[in-house]
């Protein structure tokens, strides 16, 4: 028998039953606890996933609300612009800085508790202009203006660049232009309480605050403050304008400055250099070398730049093509299938100034070789056959319908139409004879004493320039309009050249759709222009009173304007100030174009650079100082059609910079009202395309047809 003492001798004790049960219960308890822990972990993981999902949904909701807030802010801005009401104190915090900066460029801010109920059409639009530029033509001999670069460290360049890129208007400039602007800005130091900008003073500079703090004050009221890294005063580098707020240094401040003339020189010289380079490329192409200069210049304006990386196929052998290429940067290899070889063999390498695909410009072309980019960032200038044909062809289609339309005036009877045409032709011939007789008569008057020969009947209108009087010849019932322009106003606004151009151009013009100038006078205070009188009133006044025109009336107005454009453009004259305010009605109800202060003779294939026009009507190329030509007039024609049909231009507001930003965003962003028909909308969008090549190209092929279907 085993006894308890035997355990010390290595004997094994048999476990008791109660010990075995206890161990089992412990294992079961441990297993249950682990299972419960696993379930808890799984539950927590599921809850975590749910919380994460909810968090993501909330993030998405926040983003959606931010977008909605941004849209609402834009809508609020538009509504405030529409009623001419901007109040910094009521604006959202995020847009307060933009509102503050816009004060320097726009009219006084209204601080009334209630916005005045004034419709925009109650106030006529005003034209603006920079100083005329003396160098307006592309010429191989023209010298680039002297633009001085100022040394800066990298931190200063970074600050200026950042300020420019944070400005809604300036950020739309090309990177190369921004770099040159940064290089040319010079430093000014302002002591505490010193004025940077004086309210009411003429503006001529763009500023970037580098160090310090500035107050913005209007009508002795503090509107806010500006901190380092802020660009302001950008409107002044476009044209002459009065500052509408005071900017004063709160602390000693350092500011980077750019003059308007330097900015304009940067824009003009770079565009001219690029134009001349592209022109030289085209002149080297045997197919194009005999084309007239104005045709080549038009083609230059239509060239697009395509970019390729190393190994990219520009064209492939055997494909059909309609595009012509000129290499502007990099190199390409030319390969061709060779009998007996599985792979195409390299024939030659082409570099800058070389071209290929020229046959595609005159007929359907099957590519005879592969063209492959050999370097990254290879650049080619390209133009397709349709665009080429439009530019090299004539623009006769532009006037065909409109001549007929203006003569016919929608008369239904064929015989009456013919009679009307004969009558109108006879009337025009008679008018020309009368104009010459009147010019001969008034040429005998002294050039310094107009009122010796004229009696004033009444004042027709007044403005910043002076006034317009209704006058008659003494002892005769022959009436005229006498435009009296203050010499001081001409000098103060640097418009001497514009006045000279207006006189010179109007003296050469004899068109039934353009106001006639009979004689000019001058005395110690005024320059006088004796003009044809149009007592039918301003088209703008009629539009303001009626709200909008039916398409038939708008169509007639546009027909008259296009007759005037045809006359001017055929003589190399660009008008640049189309708007209802500059269209008068004569006694027979025909439209006459007036106010030629911005008109200029540039010649075919040339460009001019002066910023001038009315903000709501200026074309993108004028805003961006790229040089402009007759295409700017066609842009304004599209804006005019829109305003005649709706009562307001598509781009409008109280702040010119905001208007320019809308113009640069494009007509594509404009929602057309239902009252504008589909054909009218299509015509407006074609005329207001940002790229001039598309604008002009559509004119040559489709313009007459679109006008015919205007209703």
CB 417 within 8 A of CB 411: yes
Shared-domain flag, residues 425 and 499: yes
* Residue 317 falls inside a structural domain: yes
DSSP 557-607: HHHHHHHHHHHHHTTTEE----SGGGEEE-TTS-EEE---TT-EE--TT--
Q: Residue 670 pLDDT > 80, yes or no?
A: yes
Shared-domain flag, residues 381 and 511: no
Predicted pLDDT at 482: 94
Predicted pLDDT at 19: 54
Where does a domain end: 347, 367, 392? 392
What count of residues does the chain have?
711
Where does a domain end: 217, 244, 266? 266
* Residue 220 falls inside a structural domain: yes
**CA-CA distance, 559 to 574, in Å (whole number)?**
18
Shared-domain flag, residues 464 and 339: no
- The boundaries of the domain holding residue 260 are 98-111+152-266
* Most confidently predicted of 103-117, 285-299, 334-348, 588-602: 588-602
Annotated active-site residue 577? The verdict is yes
Mean pLDDT of the chain: 80
pLDDT in tens, 273-288: 888 989 988 888 877 7
Where does a domain end: 335, 357, 392? 392
**Any idea which of 256-260, 436-440, 596-600, 647-651 has the lowest mean pLDDT?**
436-440
CB 649 within 8 A of CB 123: no
Task: For residue 568, report the phi and psi dihedrals to the nearest 5 degrees.
Answer: -70, -50
Shared-domain flag, residues 327 and 426: no
Shared-domain flag, residues 236 and 337: no
* pLDDT band (50, 70, 90) for residue 147: confident
Q: Which of 372, 386, 377, 379 is nearest to 323 (CA)?
A: 386
**Which contiguous run of DSSP H or E holds residue 174?**
none
Predicted pLDDT at 395: 32
**CA-CA distance, 107 to 259, in Å (whole number)?**
22
Q: Residue 111 pLDDT > 90, yes or no?
A: no
Tell me whether strands 214-218 and 304-308 are parallel, antiparallel or unpaired: unpaired
DSSP bridge pairs for 187: 256
* Residue 203 falls inside a structural domain: yes
Q: Which of 552, 547, 568 is nearest to 502 (CA)?
A: 568
Shared-domain flag, residues 562 and 584: yes
Catalytic pick among 77, 301, 365, 577 = 577
Helix (H, G, I), strand (E, B) or coil at 689: coil
* pLDDT band (50, 70, 90) for residue 232: very high
Q: What percent of the chain has pLDDT over 90?
A: 47
Predicted pLDDT at 196: 95
Give the pair of three-digit tokens for residue 242: 């009065």
Binding residues for ATP: 460-468, 483, 487
In this prediction, residues 193-205 reach a mean pLDDT of 92
* pLDDT band (50, 70, 90) for residue 438: confident
Shared-domain flag, residues 216 and 174: yes
pLDDT in tens, 47-91: 888 888 887 888 778 767 766 665 565 555 544 443 333 333 333
Predicted pLDDT at 359: 81
172 or 437, which is more confident? 172
* Residue 455 falls inside a structural domain: yes
Query: Would you call 669 exposed, middle or buried from its count of C-beta atoms within 10 A (0-12, 13-18, 19+)?
Result: exposed
**CA-CA distance, 489 to 498, in Å (whole number)?**
12
170 or 16, which is more confident? 170
Binding residues: 460-468, 483, 487
- The tally of domains found in the chain comes to 3
* pLDDT band (50, 70, 90) for residue 134: low
Predicted pLDDT at 71: 58
Shared-domain flag, residues 253 and 333: no
Predicted pLDDT at 128: 78
Query: Would you call 1 exposed, middle or buried from its count of C-beta atoms within 10 A (0-12, 13-18, 19+)?
Result: exposed
pLDDT in tens, 458-516: 999 887 788 999 999 988 888 999 999 999 988 888 888 889 999 999 999 999 999 99
């Amino acid at each position: 028998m085993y006894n308890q003492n035997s355990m010390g001798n290595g004997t094994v004790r048999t476990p008791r039953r109660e010990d075995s049960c206890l161990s089992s219960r412990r294992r079961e308890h441990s297993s249950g606890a682990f299972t419960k822990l696993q379930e808890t972990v799984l539950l927590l993981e599921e809850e975590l996933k749910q919380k994460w999902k909810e968090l993501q949904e909330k993030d998405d909701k926040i983003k959606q609300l931010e977008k909605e807030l941004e849209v609402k802010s834009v809508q609020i801005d538009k509504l405030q612009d529409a009623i001419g009401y901007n109040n910094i104190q009521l604006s959202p915090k995020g847009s307060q800085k933009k509102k503050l900066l816009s004060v320097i460029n726009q009219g006084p801010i209204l601080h009334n508790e209630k916005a005045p109920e004034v419709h925009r059409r109650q106030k006529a639009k005003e034209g603006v202009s920079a100083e005329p530029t003396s160098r307006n033509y592309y010429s191989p001999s023209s010298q680039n203006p002297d633009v001085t670069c100022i040394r800066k460290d990298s931190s200063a360049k970074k600050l200026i660049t950042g300020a420019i890129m944070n400005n809604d208007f300036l950020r739309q400039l090309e990177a190369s232009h921004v770099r040159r602007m940064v290089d040319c800005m010079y430093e000014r130091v302002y002591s505490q309480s010193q004025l940077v900008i004086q309210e009411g003073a003429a503006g001529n500079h763009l500023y970037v605050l580098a160090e310090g703090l500035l107050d913005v004050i209007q009508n002795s009221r503090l509107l806010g403050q500006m901190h380092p890294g802020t660009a302001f005063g950008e409107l002044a580098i476009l044209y002459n304008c009065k500052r509408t707020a005071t900017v004063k240094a709160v602390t000693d401040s350092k500011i980077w400055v750019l003059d308007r003339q330097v900015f304009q020189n940067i824009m003009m010289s770079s565009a001219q250099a690029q134009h001349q380079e592209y022109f030289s490329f085209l002149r080297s192409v045997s197919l194009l070398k005999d084309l007239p200069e104005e045709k080549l210049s038009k083609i230059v304006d239509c060239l697009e730049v395509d970019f390729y990386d190393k190994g990219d196929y520009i064209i492939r052998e055997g494909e059909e093509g309609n595009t012509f290429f000129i290499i502007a940067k990099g190199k390409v290899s030319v390969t061709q299938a060779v009998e007996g070889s599985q792979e195409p063999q390299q024939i030659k390498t082409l570099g800058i100034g070389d071209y290929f695909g020229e046959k595609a410009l005159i007929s359907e072309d099957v590519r005879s070789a592969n063209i492959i980019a050999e370097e990254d960032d290879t650049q080619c200038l390209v133009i397709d056959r349709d665009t080429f044909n439009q530019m090299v062809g004539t623009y006769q289609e532009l006037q065909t319908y409109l001549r007929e339309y203006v003569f016919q005036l929608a008369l239904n009877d064929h015989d009456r139409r013919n009679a009307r045409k004969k009558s109108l032709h006879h009337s025009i011939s008679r008018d020309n004879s009368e104009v010459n007789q009147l010019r001969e008569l008034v040429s005998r008057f002294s050039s310094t004493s107009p009122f010796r020969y004229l009696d004033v009947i009444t004042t027709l209108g007044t403005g910043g320039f002076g006034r317009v009087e209704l006058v008659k010849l003494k002892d005769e019932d022959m009436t005229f309009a006498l435009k009296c322009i203050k010499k001081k106003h001409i000098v103060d606004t640097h418009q001497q050249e514009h006045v000279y151009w207006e006189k010179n151009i109007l003296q050469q013009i004899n068109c039934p759709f353009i106001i006639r100038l009979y004689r000019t006078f001058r005395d110690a205070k005024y320059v006088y222009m004796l003009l044809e009188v149009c007592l039918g009133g301003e088209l703008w006044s009629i539009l303001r009173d009626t709200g909008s025109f039916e398409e038939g009336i708008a169509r007639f107005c546009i027909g008259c304007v296009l007759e005037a454009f045809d006359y001017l453009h055929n003589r190399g004259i660009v008008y640049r100030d189309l708007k209802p305010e500059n269209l008068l009605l004569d006694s027979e109800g025909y439209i006459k174009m007036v106010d030629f202060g911005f008109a200029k003779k540039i010649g075919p294939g040339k460009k001019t650079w002066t910023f001038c026009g009315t903000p709501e009507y200026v074309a993108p190329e004028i805003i961006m100082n790229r040089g402009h030509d007759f295409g700017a007039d066609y842009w304004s024609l599209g804006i005019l059609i829109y305003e005649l049909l709706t009562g307001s231009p598509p781009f409008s507001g109280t702040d010119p910079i905001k208007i320019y930003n809308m113009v640069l965003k494009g007509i594509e962003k404009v929602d057309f009202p239902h009252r504008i028909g589909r054909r009218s909308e299509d015509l407006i969008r074609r005329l207001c395309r940002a790229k001039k090549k598309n604008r002009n190209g559509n004119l040559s092929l489709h313009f007459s047809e679109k006008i015919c279907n205007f209703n």
